[in-house]
Amino acid sequence: EFDALVPPCLEVLEFSNQFIRNDTLLCLMYISMGCTLCDAPCETLVAAMRANATILAKHGATLMLVRSLDSLLGQEGRYNNHDDGMLEREFRLIFNCLYLQIVFCKHNDGFIQSLELGQGRLGKSLVSLLFEATKMCADTDCIPIKRWSC
């Protein structure tokens, strides 16, 4: 039972350093993936992911993920000197968690309307933050996805 684990995880996203945030986002990603390693049959995996998305939505996970994205975009300059991939990892985890929330909660009209509401540091919506992230990637040489070369 992880229902009691979700609220502290969401609280940590707002008040912690980047290392703890990344670990917390990994935990939320695992929950979003149905608490599996994706080795279950498709029907079982999708059912678990859908159930966990409902629990995350009940606790306002999308709101906290939007705030985390907003905060990360606001701190963009601080991460430019890091070459360990922390910025990329945090963006990727936030985007993946948001994506799964959208996929499994899209049938809920209230959830969809909340995506247009201001939720970030300046009252920005998820939609406007996604445009801001896209613009940041277009305006810089650094796209927040770690590229690995063999």
Q: What's the confidence (pLDDT) of residue 142?
A: 55
Q: What's the confidence (pLDDT) of residue 150?
A: 38
Compare 128 and 6 and report the one with higher pLDDT.
Answer: 6
Say yes or no to pLDDT of 148 above 50. no
User: In angstroms, rounded to a whole number, what is the distance separating the alpha carbons of residues 47 and 41?
Assistant: 10
User: In angstroms, rounded to a whole number, what is the distance separating the alpha carbons of residues 87 and 143?
Assistant: 10
Residue 146 is encoded by which pair of tokens?
A: 């770690």
Q: What's the confidence (pLDDT) of residue 112?
A: 75
Q: What's the confidence (pLDDT) of residue 147?
A: 47
Confidence tier at 38 by pLDDT (50, 70, 90): confident
Residue 125 is encoded by which pair of tokens?
A: 């919506």
Q: Lowest mean pLDDT of 21-30, 65-74, 129-138, name the range.
A: 129-138
- Per residue in 47-97, pLDDT (tens digit) is 999 999 999 989 989 888 888 888 888 775 555 555 577 877 888 899 899
Say yes or no to pLDDT of 26 above 90. yes
- Per residue in 92-132, pLDDT (tens digit) is 899 899 999 989 988 888 777 777 776 655 567 777 888 88
Q: What's the confidence (pLDDT) of residue 119?
A: 60
Q: What sign results for the dihedral spanned by CA atoms 65, 66, 71, 75?
A: positive
